[in-house]
Structure 1
Amino acid sequence: MTESNEIRSAKLKRYLDTYADGKQTVFSEMVGILPANLSMMLAGKRPISNRMWERIHDRLGVQDETIQVDLQTAAGRALSRTGSEGAQLRRYLDQHGISQKELSDRMQVSTVAVHNMLKARRFRADTLANVLEALGVSEDVLMQKKRGASVSNFVPLVKAGQRRNPDFGSMSRVDLGNRTVGAGSILIEVGNDYMQPALLPGWQVIAAEVAADRWKYTTGLVAVLFADEIVIRRIRRNELVTNSWLTLECDDPAGPVVTVEKQDIQRIWTIESIFYGPPK
């Protein structure tokens, strides 16, 4: 009997952590799956066919077997549909390829502590604050509909690299279907190949706005509005507190590095997921 897609998705997450250290772009190359499709498979939003499942194991050179951690992960994802705060955190970690070990390192707590957080129905106030600081996101982004976050599935579509001051309120909006996002989220079309292989020109990504008081904690793949232009880059080390600027780097070593002074930053978004990724 074919196992559930939930369990296959959980196994895929284990393979990602084991063979690619949680890096989706590296793993997608290993198994020959488009990053956009891999992201959806990991999130349980795209079925993994028997043929695709065999192909993944052939590429990795491993046998298909289910271990206890797979069942626990699958159960945790099922729990996420109940809306507990621990389950929402698990969902966020899974969607962004962040391992429990990485989160424990960021928070400077034990992996056991993180494991317990993922089972919690409600976080203590200090625990939630530490989680948000470690992830560099707002509470609305992490919890989505929980705690009264404003959500929508119609967002403005903008193109990265266009030099103009976008009036997001007056823009035509794109229907995201059954996806809901927080207030201030936008859909960004990638305009160049500076972030390859993670993002390619023409791809559209969902970006969640970061509150200004959280900018100093933000790292990873981001979109930044400054000088009336939105650029997509990666923040590897946030220097807003120490030096009052952000260094925005490309994944392509040949791409330009941009340094933006704090006073010149207009808005920041974190890249949450790929909405549309055409074939390479």
Structure 2
Amino acid sequence: MKILVTGGAGYIGSITDKLLKREGHETVVFDNLKYGHKESVTGKLVVGDLLNTEDLGKLKNEKFDVVIHFAAYALAGESMKHPSDYIKNNILGGLNLLDFMKEEGVKSIVFSSTCAIYGAPNSLPVSENSEKNPGSVYGESKLAFEKMLYWYDRIYGIKHMNLRYFNAAGAALDGSLGEDHDPETHLIPRAIKAALGQLEFELYGRDYDTPDGTVIRDYIHVEDLASAHLLAIEKLNETKKSDSYNLGVGRGYSNLEVIGMVKKVSGVDFPIKFAERREG
């Protein structure tokens, strides 16, 4: 299959793109490289922004079979400080992509959604039918795009798979690709950097209603996440029906548990500076 991968120079996108190629698919990565890395893409890369329809024009007549849509701003805390940026990029950029698909006759899309659409759940486990109550503009922007996908299916027949990620972790097993954010906000790479003496470790919030007072998160390995996108494409091809899936492992680990494991594996008992909760 020929697959358009938006945001394919980023963390999850680049690892998924690599897996797609390994499975024999032809891919074209479309990325503005604001957060992505050119060196992470080994095949065709088109540098462009979804907010610029002229950039999308570079992809005309490629005859894609399916789109995997990763491209988005993805920091919940930042979205509360710069809401308009998230609304423009994640919603309006996504709308431009859908209109491009409509014009080009592309009838399938796999969407990189998020568990942030649920907000703070009232009960566990969280199912695909749980109440949607985003606690950040980021989560709201992803939920808004899911709703747009619903309407583009109903009106234009563009089928979709919403993959609602919990927390991606890890790297490509061959060590070729992994997390490389600037600034780095994710817990595990920050803890590793602290163990290496590269930063002072700050932990935000220790007053949550959990056994140790820190946030509990469900982590899924990034290669498992990448594999789920291939399964989503297979499911779309098989059923020709839109659907949504949560992607996690069903077990949570608190921030202090994760930090404790990094300390154990590294053998470095680095100090932790506790700070107030971050909004979002």
**Normalising TM by the smaller chain, what interval?**
under 0.3
TM-score between both structures, scaled by the size of structure 2: 0.25
TM-score between both structures, scaled by the size of structure 1: 0.25
Specify which structure has the bigger relative contact order, considering alpha-carbon pairs within 8 angstroms and separated by 6 or more residues.
2
